[in-house]
Amino acid sequence: MGAYILRRLLLMIPTIFGIMAISFAVIQFAPGGPVERVIAQLQGQGGDAMDRLSGGGADAGSISMDSGGSSKYRGAQGLDPEFIASLEKQFGFDKPPLERFGLMLWNYARFDFGHSYFRDIDVIDLIKEKLPVSISLGLWLTLISYMISIPLGITKAVRDGSRFDVWTSAVIIVGYAIPSFLFAIMLIVLFAGGSFFDWFPLRGLTSPDFDQMSLWGKITDYIWHMALPVLALVLSAFATTTLLTKNSFLEEIRKQYVTTARAKGLTERQVLYGHVFRNAMLIVIAGFPGAFITAFFTGSLLIETIFSLDGLGLLGYQSVLNRDYPVVFANLFIFSLIGLLVSLLSDLTYTWIDPRIDFDRRDV
């Protein structure tokens, strides 16, 4: 097992290199860029990014020179070429693309993600600032959906074809068909002061006076704020895992070894949890890394927007719109690394559930 883990860790290096290389190459051909954005601000076509740029948050010494960008500025007519050249140098675009890419990889290998182009903060500090929201949404969504999906899927498999199975399937399909943001809007209308009850807050992860609360008050306030966002995500998240669990258990229940176990006098509970569970859960665990990463990062973007939760999903989206490339590439690098590590953890969990699996005897 040690050799397998080492091989997987070593394979992460070319995998991340490929992800970053492809993304960097795409950026080179993408229209717009930080320099064009600043030019647009100067010509009255944008928001307040130029104010932030000139306010001390992005001087020539603090902006990282490690990200891609366009060098064709169609809106720069009438501006001093020396000023354009100084902007290129300030953002690091005076260097050749390969040099910028190499510098980016060297910095990222040391977990140095540079400085945000348009915010007066280091990228790593900015990500740390947004982590509590994304961790809360991703962790609770994954845990609650799996806690519901696995028992429900097992029950549906045992009672396959019953009235319970039919009705729960109908509810699951309806829940899966409705996007989470529509659930979020419905919950706001019903329970957050929309048209009926005003029981839950609409903004933030905690209340403004959170630091002055007791321990129990902090726990209650946190749950109070997280209830609606997590509920909106969970209602449409557990359908796939539930049906996957049911079908996996049904497939195992129909196999010959189950018939043999029953013939030996084992109870249905012993057959189900002593023999079927271990084999049926393997395919469910295989989907855990993707579910976790989706819930942790991309899956909560609309929910963060609707409930005014400033997390990593919203940060990544805004960074792409604002061409804040250090933040974009840092998010990509961190979550690619997390995804690969979680995938390795998933494989190790296979061996914990079923010791018969030995990855050392197989090719990676």
What domains does the chain contain, in order, with CATH numbers? Answer: 18-119 (no CATH), 125-323 (1.10.3720.10)
CB contact set of 364 (below 8 Å; sequence gap of 6+): 4, 7, 8, 11
Q: Print burial letters for 27-59: b (CB count within 10 Å at least 16), e (below 16).
A: beeeebbbbbbbbbbbeeeeeebbebbeeebbe
Rounded to a whole number, what is the distance in angstroms from the first to the last CA of the chain? 12
pLDDT of 80 reads: 63
Mean pLDDT of residues grouped by 10 in the chain (364 residues)? Answer: 82 91 84 70 53 43 42 53 70 79 89 83 87 82 85 88 90 84 86 79 82 88 89 81 87 86 83 80 71 64 82 82 86 85 77 66 53
pTM of the model: 0.70
> Does residue 1 contact residue 351 with C-beta atoms inside 8 Å?
yes
Q: How far apart are CA 275 and CA 254, in angstroms?
A: 12
Six-digit token pair at 358? 């030995």
Q: How far apart are CA 354 and CA 181, in angstroms?
A: 38
pLDDT of 17 reads: 92
CA–centroid distance for 281 within its chain: 23
DSSP class of residue 59 equals -
Six-digit token pair at 266? 């084992």
Q: How far apart are CA 68 and CA 92, in angstroms?
A: 9
> Does residue 153 contact residue 245 with C-beta atoms inside 8 Å?
yes
Cα torsion angle, 280, 283, 286, 290, sign = negative
> Does residue 158 contact residue 216 with C-beta atoms inside 8 Å?
no
Torsion of CA 195, 199, 202, 207, to 10 degrees: 160
Q: How far apart are CA 170 and CA 63, in angstroms?
A: 54
Cα torsion angle, 190, 195, 201, 202, sign = positive
Mark out the alpha helices in the chain (DSSP H runs): 2-29, 34-42, 49-52, 81-91, 97-109, 123-158, 163-177, 180-191, 215-235, 239-253, 256-263, 268-271, 277-286, 288-296, 301-306, 312-322, 325-353
- Give 122's strand partners: 115
CB-facing half-sphere around the CA of 12: CA atoms within 13 A: 18
DSSP class of residue 67 equals -
**CA-angle at 74, arms to 70 and 75, nearest 5°:** 115
Q: How far apart are CA 364 and CA 359, in angstroms?
A: 8
pLDDT of 341 reads: 85
3-state secondary structure of 268: helix
